[in-house]
Amino acid sequence: MSKITMKFINIVLFSFFIHLTNGDTKKTSMNEDLNRACIIRFLQIRGKLDEQIQVSPAPADMCRILLPLVYANHSERLCLRLWETKSIKAECVFETLKKFEFVDLELKQEIITKLKSIPKGDKRKILHEVTVAQREALTRTAKMCKSDFTYGGLFDEILGINSSLIALQREYCLLKYALENKFLDLRYININPRNIDVRNIECTSIIVQSQDESEEKLLEAFKSRKYSSDAINCLIEKYKDERIFGWNLAKDFLYKIKISENEKRAEDWRISKKLSDFNKISSNCLYSFNWSLFQFK
CA distance 112 to 266: 60
288 is an interface residue for ligand NAG by CB under 6 A: yes
Q: Which is nearer to ligand NAG, 165 or 219 (CB)?
A: 165
> What is the closest distance, in whole angstroms, from the C-beta atom of residue 51 to ligand NAG in the complex?
25
Pair 293, 286: CB distance under 8 Å: yes
Q: Which is nearer to ligand NAG, 255 or 291 (CB)?
A: 291
Q: Count of residues binding ligand NAG (CB under 6 A)?
A: 11
> What is the closest distance, in whole angstroms, from the C-beta atom of residue 263 to ligand NAG in the complex?
28
Would you call 227 helix, strand, or coil by DSSP? Answer: strand
CA distance 262 to 177: 23
Q: Count H helices, E strands: the chain?
A: 12, 0
Closest alpha carbon to 42 in 78, 68, 9, 7: 68
Q: Give, as one character, the DSSP assignment of residue 294.
A: B
> What is the closest distance, in whole angstroms, from the C-beta atom of residue 156 to ligand NAG in the complex?
7
> What is the closest distance, in whole angstroms, from the C-beta atom of residue 114 to ligand NAG in the complex?
12
Which of the ranges 46-54, 157-165, 198-206, 274-282 carries the binding residues for ligand NAG, by CB under 6 A? 157-165
Closest alpha carbon to 171 in 143, 193, 199, 155: 193
Q: Give, as one character, the DSSP assignment of residue 51.
A: T
Q: Which of 168, 207, 250, 285 binds ligand NAG (CB under 6 A)?
A: 168
Q: How far is CA 57 from CA 20, 104, 242, in A?
A: 19, 20, 69
> What is the closest distance, in whole angstroms, from the C-beta atom of residue 238 to ligand NAG in the complex?
16
Site string for ligand NAG, 187-216 (x = CB under 6 A): ---------x--------------------
65 is an interface residue for ligand NAG by CB under 6 A: no
29 is an interface residue for ligand NAG by CB under 6 A: no
CA distance 240 to 248: 12
Q: Which is nearer to ligand NAG, 269 or 291 (CB)?
A: 291
Q: Which residues in this chain contact ligand NAG in the complex, by CB under 6 A? A: 69-70, 73, 162, 164-165, 168, 196, 288, 290-291
